[in-house]
Structure 1
Amino acid sequence: MRIVFAGTPQPAVPSLLALVDAGHEVPLVITRPDAPIGRRRVLTPSPVAAAGLELGLAVHRTARLDEEALTAVREAQPDLGVIVAYGGLVREPLLSTPRHGWINLHFSVLPRWRGAAPVQHAIIAGDPEVGADVFQLTHGLDEGDIFGEIRFPRPADATAGDLLATLAESGAELLAAVVGEIADGTARPRPQQGEPTYAPKLSIEDGRVDWEQPREQVVSRIFGVTPEPGAFATADGSRLKILAAGPASADAPRLRPGLAASHAKQVLVGTATHPIALHRVQPAGKPAMDAGDWWRGTRLSELQFDTGDAGEPSPGASGATA
Structure 2
Amino acid sequence: MRLVFAGTPEPAVPSLRALLASERHEVVAVVTRPDAQAGRGRRVVRSPIGALADEHGIEVLTPPKASDPAFLARLAEIAPDACPVVAYGALLPQAALDIPAHGWVNLHFSLLPAWRGAAPVQAAIRAGDEITGASTFRIVKELDAGPVFGVVTEQITATDTAGELLGRLAESGAKLLVSTMDGIADGTLRAVEQTGDGMTYAPKVTVEDARVSFADPAAAVDRQVRAVTPEPGAWAEFRGERLKLGPVTVVDEPGPPPGELVVERKRVLVGTASKPVRLGEVQAQGKKRMAATDWARGTRIEQGERLQ
**Which TM-score applies when normalising by structure 1?**
0.91
Aligned equivalent of 2:219:
216
Report if the CA contact (8 A) 1:3-1:28 is conserved.
Answer: yes
Segment drifting more, 22-31 vs 239-248: 239-248
Report if the CA contact (8 A) 1:108-1:132 is conserved.
Answer: yes
RMSD: 1.3
SS in 2 for 1:197: coil
SS in 2 for 1:294: helix
Q: 1:234 aligns with which of 210, 234, 237?
A: 237
Shift of 1:200: 0.9
C-alpha distance in 1 between matches for 2:12 and 2:273: 38
Q: Deviations over 1:259-288 (max 9, x none)?
A: 112235111111111111111111012222
SS in 1 for 2:235: strand
Aligned equivalent of 1:152:
154
C-alpha distance in 1 between matches for 2:117 and 2:144: 7
Segment drifting more, 213-222 vs 22-31: 22-31
Report if the CA contact (8 A) 2:112-2:199 is conserved.
Answer: yes
Q: Deviations over 1:99-150 (max 9, x none)?
A: 1111100000000110111001111111111100000111111001110001
Which structure 2 residues correspond to residues 1-322 of structure 1 after superposition, within 5 A? 1-23=1-23, 24-66=25-67, 67-193=69-195, 194-248=197-251, 250=252, 252-302=253-303, 303-306=305-308
Report if the CA contact (8 A) 2:280-2:292 is conserved.
Answer: yes
SS in 2 for 1:152: strand
C-alpha distance in 2 between matches for 1:37 and 1:245: 29
Structure 2, unaligned runs of 5 or more:
none
C-alpha distance in 2 between matches for 1:296 and 1:93: 60
Q: Deviations over 1:223-243 (max 9, x none)?
A: 001111110001232110113
Shift of 1:253: 4.4
Structure of greater relative contact order (alpha carbons < 8 Å, 6+ residues apart): 1
SS in 2 for 1:244: coil
Identity of aligned residues (%): 47
C-alpha distance in 2 between matches for 1:58 and 1:129: 38
Aligned length: 304
Structure 1, unaligned runs of 5 or more:
307-322
Q: Which runs of 4+ in 1 moved over 6 A?
A: none
Shift of 1:244: 3.0
SS in 2 for 1:148: strand
**Which TM-score applies when normalising by structure 2?**
0.95
Report if the CA contact (8 A) 1:28-1:73 is conserved.
Answer: no
Report if the CA contact (8 A) 2:63-2:71 is conserved.
Answer: yes
C-alpha distance in 1 between matches for 2:128 and 2:121: 11
Letter in 2 for 1:16: L
SS in 2 for 1:119: helix
Segment drifting more, 297-306 vs 95-104: 297-306
Letter in 1 for 2:138: Q
Report if the CA contact (8 A) 2:34-2:63 is conserved.
Answer: yes
C-alpha distance in 1 between matches for 2:261 and 2:65: 45
Shift of 1:151: 1.2
C-alpha distance in 1 between matches for 2:135 and 2:146: 11
Shift of 1:245: 2.2
Q: Deviations over 1:24-72 (max 9, x none)?
A: 1111101111222221112111111111111111111234212222122
Segment drifting more, 208-217 vs 229-238: 229-238
Report if the CA contact (8 A) 2:222-2:247 is conserved.
Answer: no
C-alpha distance in 1 between matches for 2:27 and 2:294: 50
